[in-house]
Amino acid sequence: MKKAIVTGANGFVGSALVKELLKHDMQVICLDRAGCSGNIPQDERVTFIEHDLAATAELESVLAPFDADIMYHFAWAGSAGPQRADTELQLKNAQWTIDCLRLAKKVGCKRFVCAGSIMEHETISAAYAQGNKPGMAYVYGSGKLVAHTMAMSVAADIGIELVWAKITNAYGAGELSPRFINTTIRKILADEPLQFTAATQNYDFVYIDDVARAFYLIGKNGKPFSHYLIGSSNASPLKQFILQIKESIGQDKEFIFGDVPFTGINMPLEDFDCTKTFEDTGFKAEISFVEGIRLTTQWIKEHDAK
């Protein structure tokens, strides 16, 4: 790989991948919304191009001259917060993924790597469990699942290698979303109440630098029409992760378990197995959860101080 197109390049995961690609001396064409380039490194090997997901087809003539080898797709509206439950938006995201896939083929990319989610598995379990009433968070998971299944068929039809990378739960320096790790650390720092579910459900978290390295290796070594899980290989009940956070940065805080109802599905630990990812791509997470929490907390303090 010498040249890569990255959609959603200014986002949490996208910008981390751009930095990783530059470590390997690759040229990177970064696509994101107008004015959204503050997280993208200033480097002569980086080109920023404004990208509206709804107007993806208009970029063909702009991108074709770059002769890129691969496209990484991260752009996804409503990936966090209330918009995760917006059915219309999540269905549009699935179609926009297909639009980007077709664009990649038209501009000469041999391979398309898309960011999926472990919620695809959880969504299937939640939707097909008899008598279960899935929460609205599964609307986002459904969008990812639709995008995945449609992309497999379309990629086979148009002749481009599709590789699907499913993230467990990325966290770390640079994240501003209201997701679990970021929110919990901020509550500890602000001395706010810390209430959780019983936290018996299985979970996994992987630090952002490891996530970026995983995407590079999956793009380079992943097998066509395969899907790979990006995780720490240390999945466990959520309570164990929470207690590690308490031990690291909240020893003097009261953590209350069981006050928040849990309406999701508890996935078996084998669903977090990253063996195939390691065997095919060589990726294995290197940053421990404790170290990741330290780095994330340090970044939050520095960022908020500014």
Please give the torsion angle defined by the CA atoms of residues 208, 26, 226 and 177, in that order, rounded to the nearest 10 degrees: 30
9 DSSP 8-state letter: T
CATH classification number, 3-175+204-234+273-287, choose in 3.20.20.10, 3.40.50.1370, 3.20.20.70, 3.40.50.720: 3.40.50.720
pLDDT (tens digit per residue) in 146-196: 999 999 999 999 999 999 999 999 999 999 999 999 999 999 999 999 999
Write down the mean pLDDT value for the chain: 96
User: At a CB cut-off of 8 Å and minimum separation 6, what does 23 contact?
Assistant: none
Question: pTM of the predicted model, to two decimals?
Answer: 0.96
- Beta strand pairing call for 236-237 and 202-203: antiparallel
**DSSP class of residue 255?**
E
Digit-coded pLDDT (tens) for 201-225: 999 999 999 999 999 999 999 999 9
DSSP 49: E
Q: Confidence band (pLDDT; 50, 70, 90) for 265?
A: confident
pLDDT value for 41: 95
Given this model, what pLDDT does residue 120 score?
95
Instruction: Tell me the C-alpha distance between 175 and 261, whole Å.
Output: 26
Q: What pLDDT band is residue 67 in, cutting at 50, 70 and 90? A: very high
The pLDDT score that the predictor gives to residue 225 is 98
- How far from 21 is each of 47, 98, 119, 185, 197, CA to CA, in Å? 13, 24, 26, 29, 38
pLDDT in tens, 271-286: 999 999 999 999 999 9
pLDDT of 106-128, one tens digit each? 999 999 999 999 999 999 999 99
* Distance spanning both ends of the chain, measured CA to CA: 37
Residue 262 has pLDDT above 90, yes or no: no
Residue whose token pair is 């209330």:
82
How far is 123 from 127, CA to CA, in rounded Å?
A: 6
Strand partners, 163: 113, 226
> Per DSSP, what are the bridge partners of residue 20?
none
Of the chain, the percentage scoring pLDDT greater than 70 comes to 100
DSSP for residue 114: E
Question: What is the reported pLDDT for 261?
Answer: 87
Each residue's pLDDT tens digit, 135-147: 898 999 999 999 9
Cα angle for residues 226, 88, 202 (degrees, 5° grid): 50
Distance, CA of 257 to CA of 201 (rounded, Å): 12
Confidence of residue 258 (pLDDT cuts 50, 70, 90): very high
Q: What is the mean pLDDT of residues 70-90?
A: 95
- Asked if residue 229 lies in contact with residue 269, where contact means CB atoms within 8 angstroms, the answer is no
* DSSP secondary structure letter of residue 269: G
CB atoms within 10 A of CB 228: 26
Q: Helical H runs in 24-66?
A: 60-63
Give 231: exposed, middle or buried? Use CB within 10 Å, 0-12, 13-18, 19+: buried
What number of other Cβ atoms are within 10 A of residue 258's Cβ? 12
Three-state secondary-structure class, residue 163: strand
Residues 6+ apart with CB under 8 A from 127: 134, 138, 142
Distance CA 234, CA 93 (A): 31
Predicted confidence at residue 81, as pLDDT, reads 86
Say how far apart CA 86 and CA 88 lie, in whole Å: 6
Both structure tokens of 181: 């790790």
Instruction: Please determine, for residue 16, whether its predicted confidence score (pLDDT) is greater than 90.
Output: yes
pLDDT of residue 137: 86
Mean per-residue pLDDT, 234-259: 96
Question: Mean pLDDT across the stretch 56-69?
Answer: 97
Identify the pLDDT of residue 303: 93
